[in-house]
Amino acid sequence: MLITSHYAIGDLQGCPESLDDLVARRLPPSSHLRFVGDLVNRGPDSARTLRIVRDLGSRAESVLGNHDIHLLAVAAGVRRPSRSDTLNDILDAPDCDALITWLRHRPLALFENGFLLVHAGVLPQWTAEQTLELAQEVESELRGSNWKAFLSEVFGNTANRWDPRLHGIERHRVVVNALTRLRFCTVDRVMDLKTKDGLGHASDGFMPWFDVPYRRTENVTVVCGHWSTLGLLMRPNLMALDTGCVWGGRLTAARLVPDPLARTVVQVACPQSCDPLA
Ligand SMILES: [Mn+2]
């Protein structure tokens, strides 16, 4: 019997060489690939990175990261590029519209075989099922005809606390912030959206979202990226895969199998070198 293997892959951030190296030389041919988002920005070739992932077709899927959503908003003309962006290769590409259309149809959360994939994290009060429902609310906005207006309002650090009674854009802002930017939060679901450092840098009362006691996704394995200063973290119910490819680190792939001891990790070096806190 032929069993197709599934791998989750960390943040690419516009580094197609590392992706090519991983896919062409290090992973089994025809294995299925699940990207944790932030396909673009900071690296040298975001356009080629997007095309490679898209052209993998049904072999691959990616959830959206904060840099991907930022690109959508810049391409929509509703958000200014920031000085450290390296997105012009996409914005100036002849196939820009096609790439943006493909990107805005990607999910914000995926659940397969007991693995919940998101870019950054999930709030401790959300179950896997609820996370998917909330992600779908945002996905339908991004896929709808008012996607540009939606993106013009969805950025911001308020509200930073989940409340199921929130509605409209405030509700969606909390969902997008949690799924694509979360690192530290309180037991009472307040998010710290500023701190980018590693585990030792939590403000008073804050802890990594995955260490909040009684987190309601403890019974599944959450697969995420986004936190390069955290590095690779493999626990039975957590796989954090952003190992800072674009920052001179590595690109990480980890096999998605139920047995935690069988989750082989494959890493390739990256020729880039930037400062993650710049
Ligand atoms: Mn990110």
- Distance from residue 166's CA to the centre of ligand 1 (Å): 24
| Ligand 1 centroid to residue 184 C-alpha, Å | 14
Superfamily of structural domain 6-218+229-269: Metallo-dependent phosphatases (3.60.21.10)
Chain segment 44-68, per-residue pLDDT in tens: 999 999 999 999 999 999 999 999 9
Distance 242 CA to ligand 1 centre (A): 9
Average pLDDT on 201-222 reads 94
How much is the pLDDT for 272?
64
Gap from CA of 3 to ligand 1 centroid (Å): 32
For the chain, what is the mean pLDDT?
94
How far apart are the CA of 168 and the centre of ligand 1, in A? Answer: 24
State residue 1's pLDDT score: 54
Find all residues with CB under 8 Å of 110, minimum gap 6, and list them.
34, 61, 63, 116, 117
Q: What are the pLDDT digits (tens) for 132-157?
A: 999 999 999 999 999 999 999 999 98
Domains of the chain by residue range: 6-218+229-269
pTM, two decimal places? 0.95
Min mean pLDDT across 107-111, 202-206, 219-223 is at 202-206
